[in-house]
Amino acid sequence: MLTVRDSQDDRVEALDVGADDYVTKPFQIRELCARLHAAIRRSRVPAAPSEPPIQIGSVKLDPVRRQVKSSGREIRLTSREFEALQYLMKNAGRSVPHARLLTILRGPGYENEREYLRVLINVLRKKLEDDPANPTYLLTDSYVGYRFCGSCPQ
């Protein structure tokens, strides 16, 4: 998203509704080009056809079809939401540091954009969890990162 609106509320709202990035005017051409190159790089990484679906609890993620189901119902995810969920599920039970998840999702240089990650995880919780305020799958490891867990001790 490219806009002159630069308040935090505007950025959070845009990311909530599915924007992959948010650039405010005025901007530097080099930065815009770097963000475009990063987006292109991420879009070129197809799921390997041999990857089996991941099922943890009632959440099933199919990397080939790029489909997620929870308790049998299909969950619509943006590509960033899908990538985040897939990485967390592949590393289920282990804490994934904020910086690592941001680097995977946004590329190098974005390791400190924790607000973006917080918004993304909250949106995923609303889509996946029965009670987003008391998550059972997408857990926060304070000051470290996030962890996907279907049956881990809290």
Q: What is the pTM of this model?
A: 0.67
Q: What is the mean pLDDT of residues 16-36?
A: 87
**Gap between the Cα atoms of 36 and 108, Å rounded:** 13
Average pLDDT over the chain reads: 89
- The string of pLDDT tens digits covering residues 85-116 is 999 999 999 999 999 999 999 988 888 889 99
Q: Which long-range contacts (CB under 8 A, 24 or more apart) does 127-133 make?
A: 127/70, 127/75, 127/76, 127/77, 127/81, 128/59, 128/68, 128/70, 128/75, 128/85
105 backbone φψ class: left, alpha, beta (φ>0; ψ -120 to 50): alpha
Least confident of 23-27, 73-77, 83-87, 136-140: 23-27
**Given this model, what pLDDT does residue 152 score?**
61
- The string of pLDDT tens digits covering residues 28-62 is 999 888 888 888 887 776 555 678 999 999 999 99
| SS3 assignment for the chain | CEECCCCHHHHHHHHHCCCCCCEECCCCHHHHHHHHHHHHHHHCCCCCCCCCCEEECCEEEECCCCEEEECCEEECCCHHHHHHHHHHHHCCCCCEEHHHHHHHHHCCCCCCCHHHHHHHHHHHHHHHCCCCCCCCCEEEECCCEEEECCCCCC
In percent, the amount of the chain with pLDDT more than 70 equals 94
Q: What is the mean pLDDT of residues 126-133?
A: 93
**Given this model, what pLDDT does residue 95 score?**
95
**Given this model, what pLDDT does residue 45 score?**
61
